Amino acid sequence: MATTHRRHFDEDIARAEAILATARSRKGDARLPSDLRLSAVSMAVGAMDAYLCDAYVDCLTAVLRAYVTGQWKDDHLPSHYAKQQLPAGEVLDSSRRVRPLWSLRMAARSVMERGNMLTMSRVPEQFNGVLPDSHKLWVGLIDRLIGFGYKRLTGVTGPEVNKLSGKPLEQAKKRAIKTFFNRISDTIQIRHDWAHNCGRPKTAIKTFSHAQARDRIREIRLFVTAFDDHLQQHRKV
């Protein structure tokens, strides 16, 4: 069964795709379709950010609950989770005595209320604590991303990787991780330019074609789909 944050992402990315479809149907001023395309990409990035934030809250809560109830099997909490500063007011809220573990979720949620996941370099530290060594990011996820067959996303395709072994295979996957990281980060920067300076990052207003917007939105959908499947399949708690 899909998690709430996965269902919300599916709904939100569909809304972004609907904006993109509307852009294609617009006639007249060429500026408006481009603006709608950039808005669609921006919304897709927002959908990804919301998903990652909610997924992190869910993982942090699960780890803390498992630790408090003696079900965490490792000797120590993951270092990032152990260092996470939780608001004492939420943790010690006396109104939740009937459901004391709920306080942990409320405290975890408050951590992300003013935060975001729009810096991709933060994602591994946020989630690796709940993943086993053999499936940590990004190594544990890159095979699935390569398998989608979009060279803009990973720089390499499955058939190309399947021909390799040993050191060349390892190097190809490292390059694929770097390509993926740079591609998603670039899409996030497009969102920033649109949200903070109306698509005018320097002097000229940026224009975006339908194909460019379609590819960016599709890549975000593929990434979150693969990420969520990976997380739900391998997470410790």
139-156 per-position pLDDT tens digit: 889 999 999 999 999 999
pTM across the whole model: 0.91
Contact assessment for residue 78 and residue 130, using Cβ atoms and an 8 Å cutoff: yes
Position 92 confidence tier, pLDDT thresholds 50, 70, 90: low
Cα 55-59-61 angle, rounded to 5 deg: 115
Integer Cα distance of 36 and 28 in angstroms: 13
Digit-coded pLDDT (tens) for 124-143: 999 999 999 999 999 889 99
